[in-house]
């Protein structure tokens, strides 16, 4: 019986130690893991949104690039200069060679034969007055 008591004591000690290890070490690793994932999600999200905001503010012909998005179906859909401008600026702001820019009706720019998925950002753009739709959603997707 005395042996059993020592055995129990040792067993408690082992379980306690294992639990303490679990308590402190695993959470630390998990926290680090989650923090990494968390920051990656935030970074991806904010990077995409920041890229889009930067793009909208860029100067273009005495206006901002916002106007290209706003008036895309009216003035810019067949304007090669506007397309070239957007292509160059997306390359710079996203540092990506695989991207796709589209709205609800049209693919505005697409690079190569890739299928980008990594970073996605949306922009809600005021368009010239139209009783059916005053805001158009544009989506920029790109891979790093």
Partner 1 sequence: MKGIVEFVLVAAIAFLLVWATYWHLMIGKTVEFQLMTNERDVLSTINKMEQIKIGLPYALRYSFEKAFYDLGQKGGYNAIPSNIPTKDGLPYWRYGNEFYIPKWYEETAKATKIYLNEYIEKATGNSIYKEVKVDRSSVNATSDELLVLKGSNCKVETNLNVSIFLDMNRFKVYEVAEEYVKNHCSEVFYCDTTDPDRVCAWYYQDKEEVLVIDERYKIIIWNVTENSYELVKPVLKFKIKC
Residues at the interface with partner 1 (CB under 8 A): 1, 4-5, 8, 11-12, 15-16, 19, 22-23, 26-27, 30-31, 34, 38, 41-42, 45-46, 49-50, 52-53, 56-57, 64, 66-67, 70-71, 73-74, 123-132, 134-135
**Nearest to partner 1 of 79, 115 (CB atom):** 79
Closest to partner 1 by CB, 74 vs 107, is 74
Strand partners, 121: 140
Concatenating the DSSP letter of every residue in 86-112 gives HHHHHHHHH--SEEEEE-SS-EEEE-T
Min separation Cβ 131 and partner 1, Å: 7
User: Could you tell me the smallest distance in angstroms from the CB atom of residue 119 to partner 1?
Assistant: 14
> Residue 113 CB, nearest distance to partner 1 (Å)?
30
Q: Tell me how far, at minimum, the Cβ of 12 lies from partner 1, in Å.
A: 5
Residue for token digits 């003035």?
75
d(CA 59, CA 72): 16
Q: Pick from 81, 87, 136: which is nearest to 108 by CA?
A: 87
Rg, Å, the chain Cα set: 27
């Amino acid at each position: 019986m005395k042996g059993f008591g020592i055995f129990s004591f040792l067993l408690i000690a082992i379980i306690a130690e294992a639990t303490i290890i679990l308590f402190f070490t695993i959470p630390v690793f998990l926290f680090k893991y989650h923090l990494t994932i968390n920051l990656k999600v935030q970074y991806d999200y904010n990077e995409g949104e920041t890229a889009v905001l930067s793009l909208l503010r860029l100067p273009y012909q005495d206006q901002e690039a916002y106007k290209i998005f706003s008036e895309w179906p009216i003035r810019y859909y067949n304007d090669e200069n506007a397309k070239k401008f957007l292509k160059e600026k997306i390359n710079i702001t996203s540092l990506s060679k695989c991207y796709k820019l589209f709205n609800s009706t049209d693919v505005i720019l697409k690079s190569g034969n890739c299928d980008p998925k990594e970073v996605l950002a949306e922009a809600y753009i005021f368009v010239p007055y139209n009783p059916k739709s005053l805001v158009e959603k544009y989506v920029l997707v790109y891979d790093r």
